[in-house]
Structure 1
Amino acid sequence: MNKKFGMLPFFIKENFFQAPLLLWIIIVFITSFIIITARIEFHNSNYFTIYIFNQPFPVADNGSIWIGYLYNILLMLCIIAFPKPILEMIDKKRISLILSKPVSRNNFILQNIISVAVCLYLYVLIAAFFFSITAIVKFSTFPIYFILSLLILPLILTAVYIIILQVTLQFNSFGLSVLVLIIYCFLITKALANRTSFFTMLGIKNELIKRIVDIIFYVTPRVSESIDILFFILKQKAINLCRLLGIMFSFVPISLVLIRHINKRQF
């Protein structure tokens, strides 16, 4: 392998060690098996009840619930598992030894991000394989838009990982980083996306405050909206390319901050 990407196999191996691939295969296989063997009652095209061990679970959507589960599971992997190799390197003073070799800091971080993308795509392809078989066997159809959503999912989560990496390097503490990331990914970005409702609820009418919050919304990563892109594909059977590009561009400022941070930080 090219020396510029000599760390890539190490990062991929570490990622799979932190989030075992075999465990993921077992979880997806069991989920597929349960769906195939479960009794399903269809009420209309977007609403059905699935009986698992004779317990009814009403499902009022067209596949978005499964995408939501996968998104949240993989997002938690990105927050909890994937940053650990770099944190361990910093704690054990191994990173200074690596960066003393002909490996630039930017290249080092790039390899880490690529390794996460590779792992996410492998996890998603495994899920796509099992769920495609499940849909063909159980429903006699190929879930093309569900698979399309799955294939876009790692792209979005890789962008989200850039925030995770920046926060992890900023605080240099696993516990604190996880707490900050959960608050940001699940609360703050959702509040910014629904800022109009919050303005009304809190009685905020000052235009300056509204414009400041608008600016914060556009220059910070729009994590909460990323899952909406996947839901849109499932419901409308189309890709909102403009919105997808807008969300991806919202990660540019944090990427620049990460580059600056990694080049200025002393290891």
Structure 2
Amino acid sequence: MQLYTPLEIDIIQQDIPYLIEVMDWVKTFLAKPHPDLGRSGVVCPFVPHSLKSNSIRLAVIRAKNLQPQQVEDIVKDYRDIFLQMEPQDRDVGINKAFLLIFPDIESNDAATLIDNIQQKLKPFFVEEGLMIGEFHKHTETRGLYNQDFYPLRSPVPLIAIRFMVEADLPFLMNANNLHLRIRYLEAYLQRFEKNMKDKIKLNTAYQALALAREKLTIENSANSPSEKHTKMTFSCPFIHQN
């Protein structure tokens, strides 16, 4: 049985419209096919199963008077809650998902705040075998199969948390920062390499990791003091070259 205080009821009344709006978007957009998706099936293949198994959890976070660091701390707390909540077994809990709704963040500010939080925290989620996604009206994240489709655009700013799956490889090997790309791919392989059935995808991950490491080695070599000195020496117009 659940008892509510008057203040709790006021909060619930304020949150309910956003919970309903987001769930309606989940059911009518994420869980449905879309003509611009670029492939068959629904926008997010896991959502119908998550709905059927009642595995989605939503939270409304009031961030109006919070600093970005405070919002980050809240999101990290939900990461820990996600890992502790049953089912903890990844195979059983593959459809478990959290949607953290931020109704107080203005639409124009979401592109900065939500995106920055997602980018900053992604390494800490990936290394725990999780994915963190950013959703808002102005996200520029494009679809894998149609670059003119924006599957992460939502009516209310939100952040999604779920378990990493084998199909997430494209989202991990596209990081511009080589250090991050290596961290992501190492975490991915640590999670899946022993039991991965798709050998093509496994080889793709190995190759992407090797390439990222090679590029980083080249960059480090080019930026090393000895390399810079060598470049200066051979480019000096006052030194005669035989």
TM-score relative to the length of structure 1:
0.25
Relative contact order (alpha carbons < 8 A, sep ≥ 6): 1 or 2 greater?
1
The structure with more radius of gyration: 2
State the TM-score, normalizing by the size of structure 2. Answer: 0.27
From the two aligned structures, give the one with the greater helix fraction. Answer: 1
